Amino acid sequence: MQVQWYPGHMTKAKRMMQENIKLVDLIIELVDARAPISSRNPDIDTLGAGKSRLILLNKADLAEEHWNSRWIEHFKEKGILAVKVNSKKGGGIKSIQGVIQEACKEKMERDRKRGILNRPVRAMVAGIPNVGKSTFINSLAGKACTKTGNKPGVTRGKQWIRLNRQVELLDTPGILWPKFEDQRIGLCLAMIGSIKEEVLNLEELAAHAVSFLNREYPGMLEDKYGTSRCEDPYEALAAIAQSRNCLLKGGEADIEKAALLFLDDFRNGRLGRLTLERPVKEEIE
């Protein structure tokens, strides 16, 4: 299945990102907790060289708790501090300021030794589209804080959100681009709803998601829709159509409607918490 991308916008995004990255000490990288590999950007390690780093497993409420913890351990083993958050409901947000300071500990220590005191750490949020960057910034900004900068004649353009005396956050997130060339990643992002719907064959995508559930979460589909197990994903979609009354005029199953309904349930956690990618060594290296 071909997944189409939108690299046009990404060129501009990349330029902005490169510009903004120069201004900050810390990159707060948001990934989707359900797919922390596919939702990461391949170039972030190069782009962020020399900067402090923090990974947020966002939408942690939609992923399995057990795997969230495993991912946190996994990133820790790679030397990157990672924490889980639910930006929508504010879960984990309160403790974020402490975590940010923790991530910048070395930088602050270096400053102190050089006699630089009271210079706030500057941070930016980055991530691929739809991982929850704006939701996170709003959630954090709602808890703090006064905006700084942009006073007439003083600063132009950039707005900083003052989280506390030690930390300032750039109010616009850096948009990163996904790994365009890998179809597996495209599918994974499509399943979690990070790619525009119009460019996808929804039935094929839904069939793919059904197969994933049959393999990794046996029984989940049947529990949700009261259907019996079908190995063939299209038959499973037809059964969902019957059970949810998605029927065409002649009483035939409306697979397209069922696919839409099912994908919406899948993406929004109504089937249960789902982790699509698990930490496996060879996938990461």
Least distance (Å) between residue 137 CB and ligand GDP: 8
Residue number, 42 or 90, with CB nearest to ligand GDP: 90
User: What is the DSSP secondary structure assignment for residue 245, as one 8-state letter?
Assistant: T
59 annotated ligand binder = yes
Q: Which 128-187 residues touch ligand GDP, going by CB under 6 A?
A: 129-135
Indicate which single residue of 25, 61, 168, 171 sits in contact with ligand GDP (rule: CB under 6 A).
61
Least distance (Å) between residue 129 CB and ligand GDP: 5
Indicate which single residue of 14, 34, 51, 59 sits in contact with ligand GDP (rule: CB under 6 A).
59
58 annotated ligand binder = yes
135 annotated ligand binder = yes
60 annotated ligand binder = yes
**134: its two tokens:** 């704006």
Residue number, 20 or 130, with CB nearest to ligand GDP: 130
**Contacts with 71 (C-beta within 8 Å, 6 or more apart), sequence order:** 33, 36, 57, 82, 279
Note whether 62 binds ligand GDP by CB under 6 A: yes
Least distance (Å) between residue 63 CB and ligand GDP: 10
Query: Cβ atoms within 10 A of the Cβ of 23, count?
Result: 12
Residue nearest to ligand GDP (CB): 132
13 annotated ligand binder = no
279, 74 Cβ separation under 8 angstroms: yes
Detail the residues annotated as belonging to a binding site.
58-61, 86-87, 130-135, 174
By CB under 6 A, name the binding residues for ligand GDP. 58-59, 61-62, 86-88, 127, 129-135
